[in-house]
Amino acid sequence: LLSDKAKYSANILKNYSTLLPHKHRCCARVGRQGDNQQQSISIAPKCENLGSVVHELGHVIGFWHEHSRPDRDAFVEIFTKNIETKNLFNFEQKSYNEVNSLGEPYDYDSIMHYRTNAFAKTDGLETMRPKHGSRRIGITSKPSKGDTKQVNMLYKCPCKSHFVCKIII
């Protein structure tokens, strides 16, 4: 999911973002936060893996969580009673004024989608469930085809088809 304030190029990304070690948090703000302002990406030891770092970079370039889309209720059921109170904000549904998915369908395979038990109060609790079949969600270490297509559209990649463009990590 893309933020309207995320209109800056990948070249600026490398000049304006910094990976910072953090004790507990894995997070980054969505989209550019101001002119010439260094953007921090906090990475805790539990996030020192490719999928987590790519997820946080997704925030930096303008992606919200997939399960925060305005249309998410048609695709996933959120169990707020099972979510740690301090992490409820990670499941807030955004409005159409806040999010532009560039016409792309809901993407269960998105690098920006949490697992079914993300931030559960206790082990074994579901925090969300796909409404369509027994899909596995949030189990990836690379951007999906849908993620790649959205990045290409946002940054005006001159690709002729979304299967030609690739994000190489």
- Residues belonging to the binding site for Zn(2+) are 55, 59, 65
As a dihedral over the C-alpha atoms of residue 15, residue 144, residue 157, residue 19, rounded to 10 degrees, the angle is: 0
Instruction: Write out the binding residues.
Output: 55, 59, 65
Active site (annotated) includes residue 56: yes
Instruction: Give the number of other CB atoms < 10 A from CB of residue 102.
Output: 14
Which of 48, 56, 77, 126 is flagged as catalytic? 56
Catalytic residue numbers read 56
